[in-house]
Amino acid sequence: MTAVREENGSWTSQFWYKDIYGKRKHKCKRGFGTKADAEAFELDYTNRARGSMDMRLADFVDVYAEDVKPTIREYTWATREYIINDKIIPKFGTKRMRDITVLDVIDWQNEILAFRKENGEPYSETYVRTVNSAFASIMNHAERYYGLHPNPIKKAPRIGSKNARGINIWSKEQYLRFSESQTDDKLLYIAFEVLYWTGVRTGELLALTPADIDFVGSTLYVRHSYRRLKRKDLITDPKTEKSIRQIALPEFLRDELRDFVYNVSPTAHDERIFADLSSAKLKAAIAKGCAMTGVPVIRVHDLRHSHVSLLIEMGFSAVAIGDRTGHESAEITFRYGHMFPGSQEKMADALQSYRED
């Protein structure tokens, strides 16, 4: 190690090292308060440069970010970055990668599961899974590309759930009762109409412009999604490739949209129709409307579930529903299969008939 004391009493770290590709490089950094600090910088820097698992997790996160950030959506990375900084680095940041054990991981998982918000509620199962997956992504990346062995996350249990346990829905009657409470606010009224009768996601709704609606062909085109990220409006591609889709509009909804866009709140062809709304405003409107009407409170996303339930009740297939909502048909069957009326009985009867032939 080369740590040099300067005339002003500070220390400089100056050294040669080899990067992950075996290239010899030189590094110089000044201004350390002590010799130990200068030497610690050299050790951490060289470990990071050659991808050594002796580096601290906080340093490896920088390596991970350089590798992964360009490959995923901006909003996805922002969410993961927040989780890393808020939930992972405080626990493991100073620990060297190869020293993290499965017991360390389990202890951290138990802390996540035991956490309670100000209202006394734990994290949702889907959020717990998201947090766990963020840590797993870091450790799996270290194993796959930088030789971490063993990988403690693989021996730890998987916590949380990919899908929320229950699906809350509104029947047509409940929705119509709720919608009556929104008639004084035309923007909220038409937003809930679109959410319930088309099943679009919240981000897809908030990204809509008049250019996305063919009023002659009664078709809504889902081509973008909206997010608010770091105080900036962000328009991205929809969640998945299948999410880019066309949705046929019933005549009443087409007419409501046309009247709103051209008469109630004239909107330029390329401007967002629902620019004055947000997920928080929609959530607040549901809470207020439910208090007024006695309809059970649901999440904004549950309007999408309600639309799927409505289509199942009307007899449409999983394939047709998947095309309309941007889901794979297998996902529709897995998530909503219990809603298809008499499906198990029909299968049993069909098998009985087949066996008797």
Three-state secondary structure along the chain?
A: CCEEECCCCCEEEEEEEECCCCCEEEEEEEEECCHHHHHHHHHHHHHHHCCCCCCEHHHHHHHHHHHHHHHCCHHHHHHHHHHHHHHHHHHHCCCEHHHCCHHHHHHHHHHHHHCCCCCCCCCCHHHHHHHHHHHHHHHHHHHHHHCCCCCHHHCCCCCCCCCCCCCCCCCHHHHHHHHHCCCCCHHHHHHHHHHHHHCCCHHHHHHCCHHHEECCCCEEEECCEEEEECCEEEEECCCCHHHCEEEECCHHHHHHHHHHHHHHCCCCCCCCCCCCCCHHHHHHHHHHHHHHHCCCCCCCCHHHHHHHHHHHHCCCCHHHHHHHHCCCHHHHHHHHHHHCCCHHHHHHHHHHHHHHC
Unique residue bearing structure tokens 């030497």: 39
Is the predicted pLDDT of residue 345 greater than 80, yes or no? no
Of 53 and 132, more confident: 132
208 and 81 both lie in a single domain? no
Unique residue bearing structure tokens 């002590």: 34
326 and 179 both lie in a single domain? yes
Residue 213 lies in a domain: yes
180 and 74 both lie in a single domain? no
How confident is the model at residue 329, as a pLDDT? Answer: 66
Average pLDDT over residues 280-293: 97
Residue (of 60, 54, 50) closest to 20 by Cα position: 50
The CA–CA distances, whole Å, from 83 to 133, 242, 273 equal: 10, 28, 32
236 in Cβ contact with 223 (< 8 Å):
no
Domain region containing 22: 3-50
How confident is the model at residue 344, as a pLDDT? Answer: 57
How do residues 193-214 score in pLDDT, each as one tens digit? 999 999 999 999 999 999 999 9
Overall number of domains in the chain: 3
Residue 75 lies in a domain: yes
Of 25 and 84, more confident: 84
217 and 333 both lie in a single domain? yes
Average pLDDT over residues 140-160: 93
How confident is the model at residue 39, as a pLDDT? Answer: 87
The two tokens of residue 256 are 């409501």
Mean of the per-residue pLDDT values of the chain: 89
pTM of the complete model: 0.71
How confident is the model at residue 229, as a pLDDT? Answer: 79
145 and 225 both lie in a single domain? no
Is the predicted pLDDT of residue 147 greater than 90, yes or no? no
How confident is the model at residue 338, as a pLDDT? Answer: 62
Of 187 and 230, more confident: 187
149 and 252 both lie in a single domain? no
Percent of the chain with pLDDT over 90: 61
131 and 245 both lie in a single domain? no
Average pLDDT over residues 264-291: 96
25 in Cβ contact with 19 (< 8 Å):
yes
Is the predicted pLDDT of residue 130 greater than 70, yes or no? yes
116 and 262 both lie in a single domain? no
9 and 108 both lie in a single domain? no
209 and 319 both lie in a single domain? yes
